[in-house]
Amino acid sequence: MRAELAVYFIAGTQDIVRGTLPSVLEEALKAGITCFQYREKGAGSLQTASERKEMALECQQLCAKFQVPFIINDDVALALEIGADGIHVGQNDEEIRQVIASCAGKMKIGLSVHSVSEAEEAERLGAVDYIGVGPIFPTISKADAEPVSGTAILEEIRRAGIKLPIVGIGGINETNSAEVLTAGADGVSVISAITRSDDCTVVIRKFANDTSFYNNFSILY
């Protein structure tokens, strides 16, 4: 799980500024992303269930080709229908216990947390496979994001003894990813750093190199 979180790409059609979501995803897969979360939300996103399903299936097939986990954000029904590798939900999305009841044992479950207490509750639930912690830095990708926490929240969660794999979320790019990893994250999740880059291969390889270095030589939590 920790290796799969290393370079965790999140995107929906609303995030794409050049090409199409499948074309950007394929480029990112070739460059070395280790996980993909399909998040179709906000202005410019696909609005009908049939459109979202068609796009999800196309992205799922690409991920399968490169043997990279395919995660769906929030939409449990779609994740179950197409047999996604995982589902990721937030504190304000579907009730996590309902998600666990529907998905545990069928796919990985990720949960967004914003505090030590939420991380502790995620661990107590016993069926959450990883947590997304943030937003670490200001982000342009989520209009309703929680207040920025900085990397200190990662250090606090690790000091609290949380053993769940952690992916840092929010405003992460190639200039600050090392800071996120040294603070305690197992991987970094990125949207605009990939979708808005002129050459996502260079960016992704930087993330991959950072993650490999810090996870091999940092403190073992």
What's the average pLDDT block by block, 10 residues per block, for the chain (221 residues)?
94 96 97 97 94 98 98 97 98 89 97 96 96 90 70 96 96 94 95 94 92 64 42
- Measuring CA to CA, how many Å separate 170 from each of 53, 149, 173? 26, 10, 9
Catalytic residue among 39, 52, 108, 158: 39
**How many whole angstroms from its chain centre is CA 199?**
21
Catalytic residue among 52, 108, 141, 142: 142
> Residue 76 has what pLDDT?
97
Active site residue 39: yes
Q: What is the 3-state secondary structure (H, E, C) of 33-47?
A: CCEEEECCCCCCCCC
- Residues facing 188 on adjacent strands: 7, 168
> Residue 203 has what pLDDT?
93
Residue 206, amino acid: K
Active site residue 206: no
pTM: 0.93
3-state secondary structure of 11: strand
